[in-house]
Structure 1
């Protein structure tokens, strides 16, 4: 039996240069940001059908090749086989707290914010639609406690503010904290120190603080921002506050229980923050495990500038590069309490 299993593993490309036990199971979504080869094997680069990712398209995430992955295993519908490996630099993780997965190996420029064409540092602001996240993570404390009256039932919630480029992670973070950066061990990470008002707002706008999400976000992303904890979370909250005060949030609330298209969402950003702002927005969807519904789980905004400065969100959106493909073309705006 063992021999047959090994032969099957070799045939299907599971032995890819790393021990099989090093493969780390992940969940959530992978959003491709560019066209990349999607191979059956990392080691041989075998690619039946010459399959490639499509920029802006969202794929189901299955695994990483190791604890600090260089490649993600994704499901590519229509490919044969449909389980394919892509480099982590080909996109980012999304879909609620899908990015809670182990981080990719930092590239040589880790700790340095990428610069836009105008020389400004670049970031991605990730905002979740929490009811959809809770459909997929119903056992999390923040989801068990969710009600139709709570803030996150009708507002975008803060997932994170991520210095770019992708892979700019864990700046100056000691190995023991990186090792603890797993969802079931976030409470073992160092506590985040904030003033009382910021902490109160963060606990509302980021329900995931009930699972110590802010500790994860700080050590993985905030440490590469060049800001201290107070400035980093204050800036992220200010950006989320601006989106929640805009017609974009109104569009979502008015369409709870109905589908929205990425074009509608991008159009709302254009109306709220200036023509072209929507081109900096990408939509990610998640699948309801109970019935297969495609739900809008997250929107990500490309920004250029220094968060927390006098620059407005509109200016930061328009200063960044357009994202091209809008991502998930259509998804349901989920209502709270359906999980």
Structure 2
């Protein structure tokens, strides 16, 4: 009985706060297919960079209700949008360049085999799409300082276990500054500041991503700087921008 209780506690620590709000239902079988690196125009995405050669990390958190609103008829969204009910989910952990580089980030640094099913199962309550996990590892993880998909997912789990996510489940309207302030308040005592955050919106002005910048060792936050896209809550020109937040579906 004690072993079962410990296993339950460890499992909860490995899940993001948003995923802990409801059960995470996984299918019996998962699709283990390599990431298709082709862009929308059918061309292969350009590989650039060297594993481990970057300046800092960006943890990107997607607001799942906004994604599901846009992707309701798209194939492959059953796990995130029908089987489960999520708030924030992990979009990815991205190695990022500082100023002075030709591009803002490295990508597809080395060829890689598909992420195995056992690793997918560990990741899917954080990143609820087999395709997302495969492509985040292929595009961003291969450029990180993590040698394997398991190590990459371990880093994401560790970050999420220490991060408190504010509750935006009722939706509504807030400003860029208010969204950032909610994250800062939820993580009081952790030195999180507006300069460490970027707020990204959909084309119609809804909350899409919250991006949090970390120094390379992932031990502390750092200023995002000019290479990270999104609205800057530390900039008075961005701080007051109004953001619509899609409500979570009723359970």
TM range (shorter): 0.5 to 0.7
- Counterpart among 84, 104, 110 of residue 172 in structure 1: 110
Q: Tell me which residue corresponds to 1:296.
A: 207
Separation of aligned partners in 1, 2:43 and 2:127: 26
Separation of aligned partners in 1, 2:207 and 2:166: 13
Q: Which has the larger radius of gyration?
A: 1
Relative contact order (alpha carbons < 8 A, sep ≥ 6): 1 or 2 greater? 2
Q: Tell me which residue corresponds to 1:113.
A: 53
CA contact (8 A) 1:125 1:301 kept: yes
List runs of 5+ in structure 1 lacking aligned partners: 1-23, 27-63, 69-102, 116-121, 175-189
> How far does the alpha carbon of each residue in 1:31-63 deviate from its partner, in whole angstroms, 9 at most, with x for none?
xxxxxxxxxxxxxxxxxxxxxxxxxxxxxxxxx
| TM superposition shift of 1:223 | 0.7
CA contact (8 A) 2:60 2:90 kept: yes
Separation of aligned partners in 2, 1:257 and 1:276: 23
Separation of aligned partners in 2, 1:144 and 1:232: 22
SS of the equivalent of 1:204 reads coil
Are 1:131 and 2:107 counterparts?
no
CA contact (8 A) 2:79 2:129 kept: no
| TM superposition shift of 1:25 | 7.6
- Counterpart among 144, 147, 153 of residue 233 in structure 1: 153
| TM superposition shift of 1:321 | 4.5
- Counterpart among 273, 280, 285 of residue 196 in structure 2: 280
Q: What does 1:39-188 correspond to in 2, within 5 Å?
A: 67=43, 103-104=45-46, 106=48, 109-115=49-55, 122-138=56-72, 139-143=74-78, 146-147=81-82, 150-152=84-86, 155-165=87-97, 166-173=104-111
Q: Structure 1 residues 276 and 191, CA, compared in 2 at 3 Å: closer, same or farther? A: closer
CA contact (8 A) 1:283 1:299 kept: yes
SS of the equivalent of 1:146 reads helix
CA contact (8 A) 2:201 2:208 kept: yes
TM-score (norm 1): 0.50
Q: Structure 1 residues 157 and 163, CA, compared in 2 at 3 Å: closer, same or farther? A: same
SS of the equivalent of 2:129 reads helix
| TM superposition shift of 1:267 | 1.4
Q: Structure 1 residues 114 and 145, CA, compared in 2 at 3 Å: closer, same or farther? A: closer
| TM superposition shift of 1:105 | 5.0
| TM superposition shift of 1:114 | 2.5
CA contact (8 A) 1:285 1:298 kept: yes
Are 1:220 and 2:158 counterparts?
no
Q: Tell me which residue corresponds to 2:245.
A: 333
SS of the equivalent of 2:81 reads coil
Q: Structure 1 residues 144 and 168, CA, compared in 2 at 3 Å: closer, same or farther? A: closer
Q: Structure 1 residues 25 and 226, CA, compared in 2 at 3 Å: closer, same or farther? A: closer
> How far does the alpha carbon of each residue in 1:247-279 deviate from its partner, in whole angstroms, 9 at most, with x for none?
x422x23xx230121101221233215455221
**What is the aligned-residue RMSD (CA, Å)?**
3.1
List runs of 5+ in structure 2 lacking aligned partners: 1-37, 98-103
Flag as ranges the 4+ runs of structure 1 deviating above 6 A: none
Give the length in aligned residue pairs.
Answer: 194
SS of the equivalent of 1:325 reads coil
Separation of aligned partners in 1, 2:80 and 2:155: 27
CA contact (8 A) 2:95 2:105 kept: no
